[in-house]
Structures are given as structure tokens and as C-alpha cells.
């Protein structure tokens, strides 16, 4: 009798899991986030999906969707109703969604080494930046050109001045990988000018590059938190090499994937 009850319970659980999977659909967003649930409604503009565990309903704009995977049952319903879902297509009015311009900033440091490391000490300050997405259908890869302006304060061991101010103005390209868990590793490279002030003012050609790690939470898809480390080379009479690090956050316009949420409980 006991074995019979255990087998019956196992069969009930298996049928329940199978039933829920039959009506499940998986939505892969352009941000890399994966959303799974039961489809409630869909049209050319948006898809409504319900989390089968929490009962939460999400309305997702089609322009944010990279891929839609339907179960066999959902696929038959789609074919029967002849529903056409346009995934990732944006009109001219959706330019903001396609380019996803971002603004951001954070705290940064710069550690001089080599020749200038003998005289210039660790510097600290901040930076602000803006960039946008090149709308290419590269699946898990994004390219974002941008512009960054920073400010660093350094103490100096010199008879001429006791402080130096570095203001790097850098144009860059960021090559970013998108993962299903919201983690976004990237590499960045660029160049520009650095204004060096302290006992005079110079405008020095500059090259910078680095690697970083961003993170986007599904509940806050318009915010990206990041950490990056790299190197900056300032070319003057003697080249100045600095190891850099930064920690900050950026806001992306047009990137929210959930435009409406309600609780059905």
C-alpha cells in the first residue's frame, strides 16, 4: 500500500510538471535575460507571460525580444490562430529602443608607474560617460561607441608643484558580451587627449584600454553596475603610464524590458 501511494504521488508530480512544460514558453531578451512562463496573450507589439510559480504577469515589448521558444502545444496554438509575432523589429519611432543610449559615472583611481611613478603618487577622482548601441543583430555580442571625461587628483614629489590634475577626454569602443544571467564582461579601447594641469597646462595625446564586468538585474534592466580595470598611456616628453580602476553605474534609455506588471493572486 505504501509503495502504491509513493508511486501515485510520483505520477501526479510528473504529470503536473509535464503539463506545465507543455504550456511553457521561453523568451530570450536582447539583454541576455531569459524569461520562462505561460503565454497569456501576444500580438505584433508585445507578449504577455505569466510566471507559473509566483503568478506574476509581465508585458514585454517585442522590440526587446531576441528569441521566442514555444513548447509543442503553444506552437500548435500559434499555428491554429495564425498569429504573427514580430521579434526585435523597431520602427523609426523606436529609435530610442534600438540605440539604447546610456549615461553613467563612477569613482576611479589611477596608479602611475614607470618613469612618472618616481614623482607622481596614486590619484583618485571620478568620471562620467555616454555611449550608445550600434544596432547590429549579433545575438550575444554588442558594440557601443562612447565618450568619457574624467578627473584625477595626484600628489607630486616636485619643487615645481605639489599637485597634478589629469582630465582625460577619451573616445572609445566597448565590445560587450551578453549572458543569460545578466553578467556582461567587456573589453574597451580608445584614445583622445588628457589635460594636465600643475605648474602649467599641457594637452597630451592619450591611449587607454581595459577590461570590465557589468551586471544587469532582471528587475532593473535599465541600470548596469560595472567594475573595470585598465591602463592609460599619456604621451608627452616622457610617456606617463597609469594603471586605472573604476567602479560605477550607468542608466540606459529605452532598455526596460518589462513595461507592465500586475499580481494575479
> For residue 263, is it within any domain?
no
pLDDT at 105 over 90: yes
**CATH number where 184 lies:** 2.40.160.20
Answer yes or no: do 73 and 102 share one domain. no
Per-residue model confidence (pLDDT) at position 186: 97
Residues 223, 100 within the same domain? yes
Give the pLDDT mean for 119-146.
90
pLDDT at res. 233 = 94
Q: Tell whether 55 and 182 lie within a shared domain.
A: no
Count structural domains, the chain: 2
pLDDT for 145 beyond 90: yes
Residue 80 sits in a domain whose CATH number is: 2.30.30.100
What is the per-residue pLDDT for 181? 81
Of 32 and 174, the structure prediction assigns the larger pLDDT to 174
What mean pLDDT do residues 199-215 have? 93
75 and 21 share one domain:
yes
Task: Tell me if 61 is assigned to some domain.
Answer: yes
Q: Which of 43, 62, 89 represents a domain boundary (last residue)?
A: 89
Residue 33's SS3 state is: coil
Lowest mean pLDDT across 29-33, 129-133, 213-217: 29-33
Helix (H, G, I), strand (E, B) or coil at 52: coil
- Both 109 and 223 in a single domain? yes
Q: How far is CA 175 from CA 134, 148, 225, in A?
A: 11, 15, 16
User: pLDDT confidence of 33, banded at 50, 70, 90?
Assistant: low
Compute the distance between CA of residue 147 and CA of residue 158 in angstroms, rounded to an integer. Answer: 32
Is the pLDDT assigned to residue 252 strictly greater than 50? yes
Please check whether residue 129 lies inside any domain of the structure.
yes
Residue bearing the bigger pLDDT, 52 or 216: 216
Does a structural domain hold residue 181? Answer: yes
Top pLDDT among 59 and 172 is at: 172
Grid coordinates representing 118?
A: 618616481
Whether residues 101 and 221 fall in one domain: yes
| Residue 259 domain flag | no
Q: Per-residue pLDDT tens for 78-103?
A: 444 444 444 444 444 467 777 889 99
Output the average pLDDT for the chain: 78
Distance CA 144, CA 158 (A): 40
Instruction: Please check whether residue 77 lies inside any domain of the structure.
Output: yes
Same domain, 127 and 203: yes
The reply to whether 59 and 117 lie within a common domain is no
Distance (Å, rounded) from C-alpha 237 to C-alpha 204?
9
State the Cα torsion 16-18-23-24 to the nearest 10°: 110
- Compute the distance between CA of residue 64 and CA of residue 85 in angstroms, rounded to an integer: 13
Does residue 14 register a pLDDT over 90?
Answer: no
| Listed residues 46, 63, 89: the one ending a domain | 89
What secondary structure, in 3-state letters, does 124-153 show?
EEEEEEEECCCCCCCCCEEEEEEEEEEEEE
- Write down the pLDDT at residue 7: 52
- Asked if residue 179 and residue 58 are part of one domain, the reply reads no
Q: What are phi and psi of 155, to 5 degrees?
A: -85, 145
Cβ atoms 148, 127 nearer than 8 A: yes
Instruction: Tell whether 126 and 245 lie within a shared domain.
Output: yes
DSSP 71-84: -HHHHHHHHHHT--
Same domain as 117, residue 81? no
pLDDT band at 3 (very low <50, low <70, confident <90, very high): low
The answer to whether residue 258 sits within a structural domain is: no
Element (H, E) at 7: helix 2-22
How far apart are the C-alpha atoms of 164 and 116, rounded to whole Å? 12
Sign of CA dihedral 250, 254, 257, 260: positive
Residue 255: pLDDT band with limits 50, 70, 90 = low
pLDDT value at 17 more than 80: no
pTM summary value:
0.65
187 burial type by CB count under 10 A (0-12 exposed, 13-18 middle, 19+ buried): middle
Q: How confident is the model at residue 257 (pLDDT cuts 50, 70, 90)?
A: very low
Of 59, 89, 119, the one marking the end of a domain is 89
Residue ranges making up the domain that contains 151: 96-252
Is there a domain that residue 257 lies in? Answer: no
Q: What is the pLDDT of residues 148-204, one digit of tens each?
A: 999 999 998 877 668 889 999 999 999 999 887 889 999 999 999 999 988 788 899
What stretches of 82-217 show up as alpha helix (H) in DSSP?
Answer: 95-99
Interstrand relation of 240-252 and 163-177 (parallel, antiparallel or unpaired)? unpaired
**Do residue 105 and residue 80 come from a single domain?**
no
Mean pLDDT score, 48-57: 75
pLDDT of residue 2: 52
Amino acid at each position: 500500500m505504501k509503495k502504491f501511494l509513493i508511486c501515485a504521488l510520483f505520477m501526479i508530480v510528473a504529470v503536473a510538471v509535464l503539463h506545465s512544460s507543455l504550456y511553457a514558453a521561453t523568451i530570450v531578451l536582447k539583454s541576455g535575460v531569459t524569461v520562462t512562463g505561460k503565454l497569456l496573450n501576444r500580438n505584433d507589439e508585445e507578449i504577455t507571460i505569466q510566471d507559473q510559480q509566483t503568478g506574476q504577469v509581465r508585458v514585454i515589448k517585442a522590440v526587446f525580444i531576441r528569441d521566442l521558444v514555444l513548447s509543442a502545444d503553444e506552437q500548435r496554438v500559434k499555428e491554429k490562430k495564425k498569429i504573427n509575432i514580430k521579434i526585435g523589429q523597431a520602427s523609426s519611432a523606436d529609435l530610442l529602443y534600438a540605440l539604447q543610449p546610456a549615461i553613467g559615472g563612477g569613482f576611479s583611481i589611477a596608479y602611475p608607474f614607470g618613469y612618472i611613478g618616481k614623482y607622481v603618487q596614486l590619484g583618485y577622482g571620478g568620471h562620467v560617460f555616454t555611449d550608445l548601441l550600434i544596432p547590429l543583430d549579433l545575438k550575444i555580442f554588442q558594440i557601443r561607441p562612447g565618450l568619457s571625461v574624467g578627473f584625477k587628483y595626484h600628489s607630486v614629489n616636485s619643487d615645481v608643484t605639489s599637485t597634478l590634475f589629469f582630465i582625460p577626454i577619451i573616445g572609445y569602443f566597448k565590445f560587450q558580451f551578453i549572458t543569460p544571467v545578466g553578467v556582461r564582461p567587456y573589453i574597451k579601447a580608445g584614445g583622445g587627449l588628457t589635460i594636465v594641469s600643475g605648474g602649467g597646462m599641457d594637452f597630451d595625446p592619450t591611449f587607454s584600454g581595459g577590461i570590465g564586468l557589468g551586471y544587469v538585474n532582471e528587475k532593473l534592466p535599465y541600470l548596469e553596475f560595472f567594475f573595470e580595470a585598465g591602463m592609460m598611456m599619456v604621451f608627452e616628453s616622457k610617456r606617463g603610464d597609469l594603471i586605472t580602476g573604476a567602479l560605477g553605474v550607468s542608466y540606459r534609455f529605452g532598455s526596460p524590458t518589462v513595461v507592465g506588471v500586475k499580481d494575479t493572486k
